[in-house]
Amino acid sequence: MPNKTESTEQWQHPKQLLKLQKLKVKKRALQQRIYSVASLKDAKETQAVKASPFETIFNGKKRRNPFAKDDSQAKKPKPSESLISESQDETLYKILNQSSATVDAKQPLATFQNVLSLNEAPKKARAAESPCCPIDWTLRQKIRLISSQPFPWTQNLKISEESSGLTSFARCLDIDKCNTSLDTSPNAKFHQCCLLWQQPVLPWLSLFPRNSLKSNTNGVNLGASSVVKTSLYESWTDSFKSLYQLIRTRQCPYFYVCANSFTALFRAAGLCGYADLHAMVTPTTRGFRNLLKEQDIEFEMSLQPTKEAEKQDLKEATDVQANELQHHDEDDEDWLENLGINADDIKNINYTQDRIKHKSECQVDSSHQSLILIEGVEVNSFFNFLLNCKSTIAVTGLFAGIPPTLLAPVAFYGATLNALKVRESKMHSAGSDYYSIELTGPILPTTVHNILNINPANHSITMTFNDLESTRGFSKVAKKKPPEEEKGTAIFGKENLSDCGLHPTVLTGFCSADAQRVSNIECLKYSGETKTFTWS
């Protein structure tokens, strides 16, 4: 028997026994820990049920929905019902017959009523009443005339009215003061205001504005024919030269050059207080400005911030100062070499500086601040630059092979007489009739003043505009002169431009040297009762 028991029981080493004992101790401790946590949780649940079995049903708090929307902290305030109702089309005509109401300066001008009554805002000095109509050099694509009274003119013209308006415009005649047999009706005068001269003109393609994104898949590709491209360019060159000669001799007040990437405005001497012929270009890029510098064409960036303008003045220093700065840079490079810096590191430093300089110059590209002003003899150099610059004509796209569009209020060589599209409408709202006339096409600055000039003094009218956004910078540049010089400059400018083709009343306003007369206008309102203008 002893032998059998010894054979069945296997002998174990003391170390193994110690390991087994430690494992048993850890196992018991772990079981005890798990049992204590579970028992504590069960005790709490049992105590809660015994204390109030229906408390969680009747008196318990509802669990918060994490996906619920908190309306108390709305990111965007909801528009009030008054703003929504005032934005309807009917109120556009309703508010024209209402008395002007006070608009809070902090209230968003998102409705027609707030826009038209902006003149009463206490903190808006620009919207103050003025007996003179402001001047806006922005090109416009559309203008809408609205009035609660019928307009003296209509869309439908008689044969005599159309022919008289065309004749008076082509000859730059003032029908009221000329002893002629021309028709002097309001329709003839209004038709005279809706005409302009343009070159080139392609019946199948609209050349204004030049920012169309449509593809020319179904149209005629003028860029594919070298003969057509050459003919268009030669005709455009003759027209451009003719316009420039007219503006130099003060027989044309201004004209526009509308290219694919920029718009240039040439103005005769005497307009807006400028004693010399001048031109403005917007928007521009760093590459375009560098091309002008390479041609030694001096210009000024009038709309740049003060700091940027100071940097530009320092950059365009005299030749002596430039040579001194160049020697100073060479000394700096020698000093860096003496410090033990190798040539590659110096090149990296110069490259970094040039990159920072390039970035600062490109910040204003394609914005209103990139507008450049060219005055005096530099305009002649700029004219030759545009005449010989091939980059002004697109190579591909919708306007491939087509020169820039020339727009002017007077006739020039090779120009085509173009008319604005007129659409008349009438609306009945709240027991009253409201009348509207919409003009579509290239609308020049003098067109607005000519229409207001033929408008009866007691006839209230409101104008809203659809501007060519890239040309709004033209109205932000103003010639600042002392008050004692403004009157003399305006008188001499008017006398020198007496043969420019503008109406004498309109010419007086455009020759004014008052910087406050030039402003960007989105909405213009004329009151027949007070004989004043209000704009915003």
pLDDT digits (tens, 9 = 90+) for 306-341: 544 444 554 554 444 444 444 445 566 666 666 667
pLDDT above 70 (res 111) = no
Q: How far is CA 11 from the centre of its chain?
A: 98
| Cα end-to-end distance, the chain, whole Å | 121
Sole residue written with tokens 């007489």: 417
Q: What band does 107 get if pLDDT is binned at 50, 70 and 90?
A: very low
CA distance 442 to 475: 17
CA angle 271, 277, 282 (to 5 degrees): 85
User: CA 421 → CA 418, 434, 440, distances in Å?
Assistant: 10, 20, 5
379's CB contacts (< 8 A; 6+ apart) are: 266, 276, 277, 278, 279
Asked if residue 252 is part of any domain, the answer here is no
At 186, the amino acid letter reads P
Asked if residue 382 is part of any domain, the answer here is no
Q: What band does 231 get if pLDDT is binned at 50, 70 and 90?
A: very high
The C-alpha torsion from 161 through 141 and 145 to 154, rounded to 10°, is: 20
Sole residue written with tokens 């409705």: 111
Q: Which residues pair with 523 in a beta bridge?
A: 464
Instruction: Tell me which of 464 and 75 has the higher pLDDT.
Output: 464
Q: What is the pLDDT of residues 384-432, one digit of tens each?
A: 999 999 889 988 888 989 999 999 999 999 999 999 999 999 887 777 8
Residue 527 parent element (H or E): strand 523-527
pLDDT above 80 (res 22) = yes
In the chain, how many domains are there? 1
Buried b (16+ CB within 10 A) or exposed e, 5-15: eeeeeeeeeee
Radius of gyration of the chain, Cα coordinates, nearest whole angstrom: 39
Asked if residue 250 is part of any domain, the answer here is no
Residue 8 parent element (H or E): helix 2-8
Asked if residue 359 is part of any domain, the answer here is yes
Asked if residue 358 is part of any domain, the answer here is yes
Domain that holds residue 351: 319-363
Asked if residue 342 is part of any domain, the answer here is yes
Helix intervals (H) in 262-318? 286-294, 306-315
pTM: 0.71
On the CB side of 395, CA atoms within 13 Å amount to 3
Residue whose C-alpha is closest to residue 143's, from 477, 507, 450: 450
| Predicted pLDDT of residue 490 | 67
CA distance 322 to 9: 107
Asked if residue 326 is part of any domain, the answer here is yes
At 304, the amino acid letter reads Q
Asked if residue 500 is part of any domain, the answer here is no
CA distance 440 to 155: 13
| Predicted pLDDT of residue 495 | 84
Residue whose C-alpha is closest to residue 534's, from 118, 121, 123: 118
Q: Are 149 and 450 in contact (CB under 8 A)?
A: no
**HEC sequence for 307-329:** HHHHHHHHHCCCHHHHHHHHHHH
